[in-house]
Structure 1
Amino acid sequence: MKIIITGSSGFVGNNLSDFLQNKGCTVNNLSLRNKDWKTHLPKSADAIIHLAGKAHDTKNISDPDEYYKINRDLTVALFNEFLNSEIKEFFYFSSVKAAADSVKGTLTENENANPMTHYGKSKIEAEEYILSQNLPAAKKVYIIRPCMIHGPGNKGNLNLLYKIVDKGLPWPLAAFHNQRSFLGIDNLNYLIHQMLLKEDLPSGIYNFADDGALSTNQLIETINKALDKKAKLWNISKSLLEKTASLGDKLKLPLNSERLKKLTESYVVSNQKIKTALGIEKLPFSAEEGLIKTIKSFQKEK
């Protein structure tokens, strides 16, 4: 099986490339940073997996135009090349944030998209273009909406939480009760490989998430479990913490409104559609197993 991957130098691309090659696939890494990338795009392959994009900037200092140039315009150009090639399948890695920045209940693929950030808007505009085009009968297109991806070697909010626990500091946000979905890189790799193998998989939008959801308090407990520590959970007034976060916006402190929201809001994502389509009951790794693997990798990097 011949696979083309964009964004292969990133965390997901690097892991997925290695995984697929270990499964016997031939992987061609395509860099869209080269102005002449079209001349390097093979005209024939089993699939192209488009991972390259501009990630969400939680510090809100990025130029908004960059999101649209990279996430929308480059995707449009690549998809047009796909339509005019002999490549059979197109995988576009979008994001759950293309559908919604906040979720009430559980997010499914039927949600009416209403992104609030330039990141989410640029992703949904790319999706809308892809879905608006006439797709030849022999081709398939899959729009993947992953939730927060993690795994060994990946930094972010998980690394922040790890440092708090590793230093023996108490978790001060225990007063917030939420539920969040995560996506371990091993489950992501598994799902993509199964989609590549499935010959009659319908085109469409598919959410990616681990089975089940965890609260941030449960996440803290899981990190402690991985580090063989006892969890320290503090119930501090929500209003006090929210005022502190607002102050953090002005003083550029580590705790700001955006980070507080990410750490305490609920965001549950359903993965039932992709599991039903692939005929699987559960993913290889539970949310807790994947998180423990990620956290233990932080220990090794110390």
Structure 2
Amino acid sequence: MEVKILLTGATGFLGSAVLQRLSGANNVDVSISLRSDSKKSNSKLTLGPYRTFLVGDLESKLDWTSALIRQQVVVHAAARAHIMKEQLSDSLGEYRRVNVEGMLNLARQAAKARVKRFVFVSSIKVNGEATFLSPFQPDDLPAPEDAYGISKLEAELGLMQLAAETGMEVVIIRPPLVYGPGVKGNFASMIKLVEKGLPLPLGAIHNKRSLVGIDNLVDLIIRCIDHPAAANQVFLAGDGEDLSTTELLRGVGKAMGKPARLIPVPAGLLQFGATLLGKKAMAQRLLGSLQVDISKTCELLDWRPPYTVEEGLRRCFEPSR
């Protein structure tokens, strides 16, 4: 039986990977939404074998009526992404406008249009920024620390309330750092440093961080589209392998065919220096631990990450995908 799916954020890092996977799937009818003012709205996406709906900015008054006709599932990958150097004075207000109000407006209209399931890509930032004694669990008390994480938590709470009121199934997926071809942000910066062959004082870091390769995350999203046990659940995403920053840098270098030049400087000394320079947040990302427990995801959905971290890193640098 064919499943009709509306995908938002189809030009983004994650959304484009989901679209590529869905486009090759059997018994799937994919529609996509694009911002009407997007520079990418006239790209090859509009010429693909799927219906394209040009919409405005993701906000609370956007009319999704035409895009939702006869849709059975919405996969919501559009969002105001986490911005490292936020310039807005009211960043929380802007995150809420897009990630909470805009998303819930779509979800309410989806429920009214009798969409069966709404798959929402959230963030591990809902759980918090660091783990100490044990990995994050899906049912941990939320502890977001920044505006982006707060907006994702508020979006989740609104979705769950909507599910209870309307009967529309909701699936929430919280990924940690996502890496893959074309990745931006911190991971891209790490790749550039290794590529340049610069010596890095990160050769003796013994933290543990969970990551998720784009192909593993997409595979999980696809599983959540129609798996009966996914309804009204929160899932953590991950590769199932936790790496130290040192191990990750070495893995990136191996995947690139360039050795990572790492100097073994004690983590405590790096932490002290970062504090003096006002870079505590950066130090936390490089030196601290953030682990997720994906056992619920694996057991409830009968799912395993199809790619290892080594395979995922290698796929980042394959000449063609």
The TM-score with structure 1 as length reference comes to: 0.88
1:99 aligned residue (116, 120, 127): 127
Residue correspondence of structure 1 range 24-63 to structure 2 within 5 A: 24=26, 25-31=28-34, 33-34=56-57, 36-62=62-88, 63=91
Q: Distance in 1 between matches of 2:179 and 2:282?
A: 17
Relative contact order: is structure 1 or structure 2 higher (C-alpha 8 Å, sep ≥ 6)?
Answer: 1
Which residue of structure 1 aligns with residue 45 of structure 2? Answer: none
Gaps of 5+ in 1: 250-255
Shift of 1:39: 3.4
Which residue of structure 2 aligns with residue 211 of structure 1? Answer: 240
In structure 2, give the amino acid aligned to 1:106. P
Which residue of structure 2 aligns with residue 252 of structure 1? Answer: none
Q: Distance in 1 between matches of 2:259 and 2:182?
A: 25
Residue correspondence of structure 1 range 286-297 to structure 2 within 5 A: 286-294=308-316, 296-297=317-318
In structure 2, relative to structure 1, the CA distance for the partners of 1:102 and 1:275 (3 Å cut) is: same
Shift of 1:75: 1.6
Structure 1 contact 187–283 (Cα < 8 Å) conserved: yes
The TM-score with structure 2 as length reference comes to: 0.83
2:213 aligned residue (184, 202, 205): 184
Which residue of structure 2 aligns with residue 8 of structure 1? Answer: 10
Structure 1 contact 181–268 (Cα < 8 Å) conserved: yes
Farther-moved stretch of structure 1 (38-47 vs 202-211): 38-47
Residue correspondence of structure 1 range 54-73 to structure 2 within 5 A: 54-62=80-88, 63-73=91-101
Secondary structure of residue in 1 paired with 2:188:
helix
Q: Distance in 2 between matches of 1:279 and 1:64?
A: 37
In structure 2, relative to structure 1, the CA distance for the partners of 1:164 and 1:180 (3 Å cut) is: same
Shift of 1:87: 1.0
Which residue of structure 1 aligns with residue 223 of structure 2? Answer: 194
Q: Distance in 2 between matches of 1:237 and 1:190?
A: 38
- Seq. identity, %: 30
Q: Distance in 1 between matches of 2:33 and 2:257?
A: 42
Secondary structure of residue in 2 paired with 1:107:
coil
Secondary structure of residue in 2 paired with 1:126:
helix
Gaps of 5+ in 2: 35-54
1:22 aligned residue (1, 24, 32): 24
In structure 2, relative to structure 1, the CA distance for the partners of 1:65 and 1:236 (3 Å cut) is: same
Structure 1 contact 8–17 (Cα < 8 Å) conserved: yes
Structure 1 contact 58–258 (Cα < 8 Å) conserved: no
Q: Deviations over 1:49-103 (max 9, x none)?
A: 1111111122132333101111111122111112211211001111010121222
